[in-house]
């Protein structure tokens, strides 16, 4: 006995429905891609602001380091002259160490933000990073 099975996708209305669904899916994906790109743009702007702030913070930390080095040098001179005691000299050395640590922390933070920015830019403009890698 011959048995026929009706397939909805083979008739005209099934094809139209499949095509309409594909168009809706394509539109939905395009909207999602655009939303993701816009979100990435906002995140890039935020990281760029962090980089700008980080550079000025790093400059301030380096300026403080220079000042702390001068203070320690002057403190050592005063120590040799007997005008300050060992505890005061140790405090000056501690201040210098803290200033050095702050500079290092700021350098690391700035490097992280710069790396994050490069990664985000590759996500946003992958064709540019493909050319850079060749």
Chunked into runs of 10 residues, the chain (134 residues) has average pLDDT values of 51 75 90 90 93 98 98 97 97 98 98 94 70 54
The answer to whether 102 and 59 are in contact (CB under 8 A) is no
CA angle, residues 66, 67, 69, in degrees to nearest 5: 65
Kindly list the domain boundaries of the chain, sorted by start residue.
37-123
Scan for tokens 């996500």, then name that residue.
Answer: 123
CA dihedral of residues 114, 116, 117, 120 (deg, nearest 10): 160
pLDDT of residue 22: 87
DSSP three-state, residue 83? coil
Burial class (CB in 10 A: 0-12, 13-18, 19+), 130: exposed
pLDDT of residue 6: 47
pLDDT of residue 20: 84
- Percentage helix, strand, coil for the chain under 3-state DSSP, each rounded to 5: 90, 0, 10
pLDDT of residue 128: 59
3, 70, 77, 109 from 52: Cα distances, Å: 74, 28, 38, 12
pLDDT of residue 18: 81
Handedness of CA 103, 104, 107, 109 (dihedral sign): negative
Q: How far apart are CA 44 and CA 38, in angstroms?
A: 10
Instruction: Give the number of other CB atoms < 10 A from CB of residue 124.
Output: 15
CA dihedral of residues 91, 95, 101, 104 (deg, nearest 10): -150
């Amino acid at each position: 006995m011959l048995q026929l099975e009706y397939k909805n996708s083979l008739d005209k209305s099934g094809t139209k429905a499949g095509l309409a669904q594909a168009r809706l899916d394509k539109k939905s994906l395009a909207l999602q891609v655009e939303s993701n790109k816009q979100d990435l743009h906002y995140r890039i702007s935020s990281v760029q602001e962090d980089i700008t702030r980080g550079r000025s913070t790093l400059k301030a930390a380096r300026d403080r380091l220079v000042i702390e080095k001068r203070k320690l040098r002057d403190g050592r001179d005063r120590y040799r002259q007997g005008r300050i005691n060992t505890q005061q000299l140790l405090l000056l050395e501690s201040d210098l160490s803290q200033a050095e640590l702050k500079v290092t922390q700021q350098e690391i933070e700035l490097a992280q933000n710069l790396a994050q920015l490069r990664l985000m830019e590759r996500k946003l403009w992958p064709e540019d990073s493909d050319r850079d890698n060749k």
